[in-house]
Structure formats: C-alpha cells, structure tokens
Structure 1
C-alpha cells in the first residue's frame, strides 16, 4: 500500500509539469495578451522549446485562434507552436486580458493628421510637419499611446532611412512580419520612407502615409509585404 501511494504521488507530480513544444516560425513574437494588437514582450527563434502553462482564444492566425501562454508569462499564437493538434492541449487560461489603447489599434483609415494644410516648421516630436516621419510619429503617439519622438529611448531616429537602425539599437523589434499598427519602413531613396500599417491581407499590406504620391499630403496604398521592413514599437 505504501508503494502504491508513493507511485501515485510521483505520477501526480509528473502530470503537473508543463510540456515543452517547439516553435515552428523563424522568429515568433510573444505578446502581453492573446492577439496581434498586444505589445511584444520577447521573441522566440525557430526550434525553441516553450512550455505552455495555459491556452485561450484570441486573434485568428491562419485560421487558428488559440494562443498559448508560455512559462515566460507572455502569449504566442498556437499556429507557430508544434503541439501536434489544432485544438487545446492543456487547461484554458483563467480571467482575460483587456485590449490595449481601448481597441483603437490600428484605428480608422482617414486623414486625421493634426497639421494637414499647416505644413512648415517642426512638430512636437521634433520632425518637420507634413513629412512621413511626422505623420508616423503622431500615429505612434495617438494610436499606440507611446510617447515617441526623434530621440526615443536615446538615439537620434533621424530620417526614415535610419529608423530601422535606431529601432535595433533600442531593442524595438524589426522584421518582415507586418501587423496592423506597426510601422512600415524602407531605406530606398535619398531619405527612405515610413508609413502606418492599417491592414494586413494575405501577402499584401494597406498603408497610410504622408508625402509620397502627394507632396506634403496624405495617401493610402496597398502593396506587397516585401516592400517594407516592419518596426514594432508596440504591436
């Protein structure tokens, strides 16, 4: 009887340990909540084994709306975790997380830039008004609730073609995976260009921008994802 009891206790202990599963994506973001609009807390490389403490529903990624909370306390899309099934493999997370910024990410697609028609001079974020950098800096402040400016976290972010380097210096994620509310960035041209990602659809992104097709003016475009790098200041 004593042996049987000991074995039962051992089995109970083993079953309570979280199982580790490998990451299948090249670089997978682990977020503060179960969705692509939540801030990135850390990233996992392909092949990293993560322990899942619980699972919950969230933003659908390629048809799978399950998100896995890891032992690091953040959430990854189950689509990028090889659990052997598209369903739940452990208990559901208790409670819930509130969406950031009152659900305003990425916000409506419209020209609500406060300096439209009032170009010239420097804006509160130390950029020239009606330039692409000013528009995106304003969106980051307004939509993401991040106090972004030309010296965010220390370095000079400067022209659009140095935003990617400044982001890397400050450990702001830069990759090829757009999400609504991220910053589209390219080094092409004399000064580069930045834009606001409004929507992601398959292999395309819809962006909002200033000073591209219209000088000192607003515009939207839908282009291939590969057109830009993507800077994830918050999402």
Structure 2
C-alpha cells in the first residue's frame, strides 16, 4: 500500500509540472496580441525557455497560424517555439478581448485604392477591408470564394455564410463581422468592441468614399457573422 501511494504521488507530481519549450528564432518578438500587427511587449533570444498558458489562432507565420501565450502574458508565433508539433499542445485561450487588435487604419492599400486585392475584392471597399482584417487578425484564409461559394457584395455575405455553415446571429463579439443588407450593395465592418447595447466597428467606404472610419452604434444595426 505504501509503494502504491508513493507511485501515485510521483504521477501526480509529474502531471503538475509545467513544460517549458525552447525558442528557435534568433530574436523573437512577444506581442500584446496574437498577430504581427500587435505591439511588441518583449523579445526572447534563441534557446530561451517559455511556458505556454494557452494557444489561439492569429496571423499565419510560414503556414502556422497558432500563437502561444507565454508566462509573461504576451504572444509568440508558435512557428518559433519548438513544441514538437504544428498543432495545439495547450488549451485554447478563452475570453481574449485582445483579438481585434489595435483600432488604427493599418489597411495596406489605404494609399493605393483601385484594382483588385489578393482576396478578390476591390481595394478600399468595405469588403476588402474586412477580408484583410479576417486574414491578418484571425489568421483565416478568407477570400471572395471562401469555402467554394462566391461571397460577392456585402449584401450577400449573410447568405453565403449560412450556405457554408458559418454562424450568423444577432450576438456580436470582438473579431466578428458586422453585416447589413441596407443600401444597394449592403455593408460589412469589423467589430472591435461590444458594449451592453452597442457595438464599435471599423470600416471602409462608409462615411467617405474609400475612406477609413470607426463608429459606435446600436447592436441591432447589424447581423453578425462569426467566421
């Protein structure tokens, strides 16, 4: 009985040990959120050991879209951490309010509107801006033919989402898509914050032609697409 208890104690102790993983890049940035557009909080040198509290999706780095939250509360691209796999080794981060990222006009085509973007939308339109946000902030390879269906103008995004199994509802959360069928072509925007009865969005081509904007409106203004 004593031996059994001792073995059980060893097993319990082993389970409670936190695994540390080495950094593989020469100097790796640890950011305030899971993406390359977030501010750098600190850096790790090659060989440094980090522990991972949770993992989440973010900007894809060399084909890996997982980001690891370290013991310092910042995020490192999993590509630079030697975990032994390209998959998850820790629980998924939950309730992470930093997912939307900084509320700034960092759209890459703001000074070169016109023509088609890499996601098959016209640059500086609401659809292009949101498609870019989804790719950059969520690490999802979204485009105008996402999941084999033409998403088209903003007023067809809700139907395209439903047809491909993407959730559409009246409950916004940071990092989802605000969508309305109002107007000739409809409109889509990026949800950056949610209040008790309001939603704050970032958008393009609404307040001015091909212009960036942000505003806070009633939640009932939009449908919400959760890619």
TM-score bracket for this pair, using the shorter chain length? 0.5 to 0.7
| Aligned residue in 2 for 1:203 | 197
77, 93, 97: which is aligned to 1:99? 93
Structure 2 residue ranges without an equivalent (≥5): 1-55, 58-88
> 1:27-64 deviations in whole A, cap 9, x for unaligned?
xxxxxxxxxx98xxxxxxxxxxxxxxxxxxxxxxxxxx
Displacement of 1:97 after TM fit?
Answer: 2.0
Displacement of 1:214 after TM fit?
Answer: 1.7
* Matched-pair contact (CA < 8 Å) for 1:104–1:143: no
Using the size of structure 1 for normalisation, the TM-score is 0.57
Displacement of 1:98 after TM fit?
Answer: 3.9
| Aligned residue in 1 for 2:128 | 134
Whether 1:149 aligns to 2:150 is no
Runs of 4+ in 1 over 4 A off after TM superposition: none
Displacement of 1:99 after TM fit?
Answer: 2.7
| Aligned residue in 1 for 2:162 | 168
Give the superposed CA RMSD.
2.4
Provide the C-alpha distance between the structure 1 equivalents of 2:90 and 2:197, rounded to a whole number of angstroms.
31
After the TM superposition, which residues 19-168 of structure 1 pair with which residues of structure 2 at under 5 Å, given as runs? 97-99=91-93, 105-168=99-162
Structure 1 residue ranges without an equivalent (≥5): 1-36, 39-94
Provide the C-alpha distance between the structure 2 equivalents of 1:123 and 1:198, rounded to a whole number of angstroms.
23
Taking structure 1 as reference, are residues 176 and 107 closer, same or farther at Cα in structure 2, changes over 3 Å only?
same
| Aligned residue in 1 for 2:187 | 193
Displacement of 1:96 after TM fit?
Answer: 6.0
* Matched-pair contact (CA < 8 Å) for 2:97–2:174: no
